[in-house]
Amino acid sequence: MSDIRVRGLRRGDRINYRGIEWRIADYNTYDDSYGYKTEEWMLKGKGQTDKPFYLLREVDPQNRDSLVNWYLAEEIGSPKIYQPNSYDNLVSRLPQAMQNREVPYPELKMFGKSYYFESKTEGSYDEGSNEIPRITWDYWDKAHNKNLALEAWPNGELHVYVSQIVKPGEFAIVKDSINKVALQWTRAVLGAAGIMLLVVGCSMFIYG
């Protein structure tokens, strides 16, 4: 499935990933003043209690070798995060440290796996009707296959996610969603074409 078709998905649409059907439960965006941006689709299974996953499209102008990346992320409940050679859980301290703009820890461990600091962003999380400031510290494992993201929110909450790189082609839109997405793009194209015809017509009327 192409990048464009995935980006047209909105709440209520359905996709299939590795034989599992997911419903788009929400769509939000995040950006900062340096041009960094993510689009986020919350994916939920058929069961009401199924844990959500998040499909992310990242645009990072600081990374010219890989400007656009896609990730599948899972939020970690009750995380335990440590410095190397320590058993002191940092979770309760991290939100304040991030809000105070302290220097990020160079290495963190979770579930026995080491992650190394790569970057941080400070931007706005757009929920559609509300924008919320958010600070994110991004860590990667040594092989750069798994990402650990720490998100500090103004209310003092810390959200922790682990994600892996995916490709849009690995996702298939469920049939009725295909028709809906196609209709959305058709309307957009026809709308643009209509505006162009109107401009041309007015020009001919004025200058003809």
**11 shares its domain with 106:** yes
The four Cα atoms 154, 159, 162, 167 give a dihedral, to 10 degrees, of: -60
The Cα 15–Cα 171 span in angstroms is 6
Q: What is the pLDDT of residue 121?
A: 94
Please state the φ and ψ torsions of residue 153, each to the nearest 5 degrees. -110, 155
**126 shares its domain with 188:** no
State which H helix or E strand residue 97 sits in: helix 94-99
Q: What is the pLDDT of residue 54?
A: 96
Could you give the C-alpha distances from 67 to 7, 58, 61, 89, 134, in angstroms and in order? 16, 8, 6, 34, 22
Structural domain count of the chain: 2
Judge contact between 84 and 109, C-beta under 8 A.
yes
The Cα 37–Cα 23 span in angstroms is 23
**146 shares its domain with 92:** yes
**38 shares its domain with 114:** yes
**33 shares its domain with 134:** yes
Q: Which domain holds residue 195?
A: 175-207
Give mean pLDDT in consecutive 10-residue pieces for the chain, a chain of 208 residues: 78 92 94 92 82 94 84 96 96 97 98 96 88 96 96 96 94 71 56 47 40
**23 shares its domain with 120:** yes
